[in-house]
Chain A
Amino acid sequence: MTIDWLQMLFGRLSLDALPSDIVTIGGAAMGVFGLLFIVGLITVTKRWRWLWRTWLTSLDPKKIGVMYIIVSGVMLLRGLADVVMLRAQQALFATGMDSPIGSDLFQQVFSAHGTIMIFFVAMGVIFGLINLIVPLQIGARDVAFPLLNSISFWLFFAGMALMNVSLIIGEFSAAGWLAYPPLSTLEYSPGTGVDYWIWALQIAGIGSLLSGVNFLVTIFTMRRKGMTLMKMPIFVWSVVGSMALVVFAFPILTATLGMLTLDRTLDTNFFTSDMGGNPMMYVNLIWAWGHPEVYILILPAFGAFSEIVPVFSRKRLFGYTSMVWAIMAITVLSFTVWLHHFFTMGAGANVNAFFGIMTMIIAVPTGVKVFNWLFTMFRGRISFKTPMLWFMGFIVTFTIGGVTGVLMAVPGIDFQVHNSLFLVAHFHNMIIGGVLFGAFAALAYWWPKFTGFRLHEGLGVAAFWSWLVGFVLAFAPLYILGLMGAVRRLDSYDASLGWQGLFVVAGVGVTFILLGVFFQVLQLAYSIWKRKELACDHDPWNGRTLEWATSTPVAEYNFATMEAVNDRDEYWETKYSRKRRNHPKYSDVLVPKNSGFGVYVSSAVVVMGFAIVWHMWLIAAIALIVTIVLAICVGLRENVERVITAKQVAESEKKLWKGAGA
């Protein structure tokens, strides 16, 4: 038997893999030039060593959190660029005019839009916030496993990188964001697109899984003395729910993607139509993961709002206990509703009725939360700063989304509107109005804690209103179009249907959203430029929880001293009852040393994923071995911490609190 070494080395990769149509070339060129520009900038300013030491190899969760958020910010721009193409196609070209976006490319673009927005924007920003806030809110100095945390981030990064490589080399999946077979099987998608999709998700998913374990252990074993479970800030509770779902739902994704991989590479017959395979099983499994995933994203957003509302209403959170129970109820119930994603696939009335009722039940704890927020605001002294504006926008859009959701939980109604733009409008209500607005509110709220200056308020308000108006304009027409019968993923329709006007309105909405994003970018740039004028102290919003107690910017060790916690709103209580001690007694602090393993593992895994996508088996095998060796090295690491002495802590505290009136 002879082995074709060239085949082992290059697999199915050839020059044909480079993009050939004008739109993809444009996208690829933008990606490549953007990357080259950044690399050039770093080289010219001689920042490589600095970048490596202070960011890439850092195990400080605050820095890892910032890196998560930067990556998801960039990905948000790419996801938006995708959606501009989609809506432009539907508003301008879909009625028969010649379009630069062909049908196949259209399918690729919306698959990429969904995948990017869920996995690399929403997940990224959620993990970024968790990294930034959770250790501070529980009064800890670090997470349970700092290196694992870095590796998780770099796996997320690796998945993102692989996803974007598909823009330049090869193609992306054209099978929708969940790649239902048989469309995603070899027979209908013989190219590399679905493989890119699988491996980008698989790698990022394993990173999320490890993060989930890490943060659950952090929250359960590293809380400050005295912080019992029922004294934890509600954001931390929401993270408990979200991470529990990550830990218990993501393995389903891993296994399901694994089986799809086997179908595509080893010709097994899990989800094929012949040889006994059953594509419906894939749909069942992917939603058994997919529905909890929705709550993984939304719970931390709920948590962030539960922090923001009390602070800007100057009141305690109303119904803390019911909030905790609501979160836990949502966590468990989210495992019992997945069939509502495929009511129409053919299950009988009993099955549909059961899952329909469960879906309506899960709306109850969510309703409890909405009322808790409203009662917190009731008779509070509300100040409408940007975080609070985002909350107001959220409560309206999210409630509308919730109501349309319960509507579709009735199987009979779902039979009418399934597969339509009505559904698309519903879940964008939840994900933009819920997750994204939550993330924007959280970023505006916690930004000054980490930078020492506020974001410019006027530009923030402008961004909010542009987003809100854009959101309504972009999605209200979709509800109507959905009821008129417009299906999702539509690249052309007959002009006589009279849909074009509404699509144009939706397109105008997208323009407003783009304006909102423009204001946000402007706000960032302007605030950084004017940071001296916007400077603030460590507690700009009159906060309640522990993260506001420590200095700004936050020291590497988070807290200089570790006093026991007595109250739910610990900082609020101590602020007004106890004076800050003038001569605290410091002790030595252990912090993790930097480590490059995250970057190494990520590089090896990207190479492995790429090689498997292109069937370059030799390189894949080598990269797999390198990954295993790296994992062993991680396990064998010794001497992983360094000491910050009490004296250094004292000096750093003096510097950090200077000018803060201490």
Chain B
Amino acid sequence: MSSVAETPEQKHLLSKTTIGFWLYLMTDCLLFATLFATFAVLRGATAGGPDGAEIYEMPVVLAETIILLTSSFTCGMALLGMMAKNTKQVLWSLVATFLLGLAFVVIEVAEFAKLIAEGHGPQASAFLSAFFTLVGTHGLHVSVGLLWLIIIGVLIWKRGLTSKLTRSLTLFALFWHFLDLIWIFVFTVVYLMGVVV
């Protein structure tokens, strides 16, 4: 990252904010860990309702996974563009990231809406409460990321790559990669292990 921050003060600020944000991500990991632990404990508590294997649509989940992974990759492209001071590459990569992220959220909302319409809402059983909360919290994070992405994108478009915006973009990229990381475990623990057992 040394090519981004020019002066020693900017460098110090970048490392301070990066470490601070990293620590925030660690706290978020533990938030998810709590939800994962709850899910693990309650996954069998279906109260006579459906279990995971009966309600998951695996091809759709695979599509979600690939979409989010690709968006993580395009986000990395934005970061590379930033380091090469290529505003155009940054903006196009961010647009791609946004569209992929939006697609992910839309698919997830549709999945939730369908389950609720079928009577398998979060109230139906402890398993479904844990499922909706874990997956929904991840989705909420992605939505917040999308809002953040719009703001950064518009500002970079208007103002170019100022030192403040490069800092924000660096943090945003960390956040977005982190969400993909969490999704690996949602994908594995909630969905794949759900159809296995």
Contacts and interface: CB of A to CB of B under 8 A. Distances in A.
Given A213-B27, A248-B26, A632-B151, A278 B34 contact: no
Interface string B30-51: 1101110110011001110000
Nearest to A252: B34
Interface string B1-37: 0000000000010011101100110111111011101
Interface string A118-145: 0000000000000000000000000011
B87 interface: no
Contacts of A250: 27
A254 B16 CA distance: 25
Contacts of B130: 270
A266 B34 contact: no
A22 interface: no
A519 B168 CA distance: 52
Interface residues of A, number: 43
Contacts of A281: 38, 41-42
A277 B12 contact: no
Contacts of B33: 251-252
A216 interface: yes
A145 B20 CA distance: 9
A221 interface: yes
B126 interface: yes
Contacts, number: 111
Interface in B116-140: 122-127, 129-130, 132-133
A628 B124 CA distance: 31
A251 B30 contact: yes
B164 interface: yes
Given A278-B41, A285-B38, A269 B123 contact: yes
Task: Label chain B's interface by main secondary structure.
Answer: helix
A217 interface: yes
B126 A247 contact: no
B16 A217 contact: yes
A346 interface: no
Interface string A622-662: 00000010001001101000000000000000000000000
Given A268-B129, A275-B123, A285-B38, 13 more contacts: A213-B20, A217-B19, A220-B19, A221-B12, A221-B19, A247-B27, A251-B33, A266-B123, A267-B123, A272-B126, A276-B47, A277-B129, A635-B151
Complex A-B, nearest 9 residue pairs according to Cβ-Cβ distance, in ascending order: A276-B45, A276-B126, A255-B34, A268-B129, A251-B30, A251-B31, A276-B47, A275-B47, A217-B20
17 contacts: A145-B16, A145-B17, A221-B12, A248-B26, A252-B30, A262-B122, A262-B133, A269-B123, A270-B38, A270-B126, A270-B133, A275-B47, A276-B47, A276-B127, A278-B42, A635-B151, A638-B164
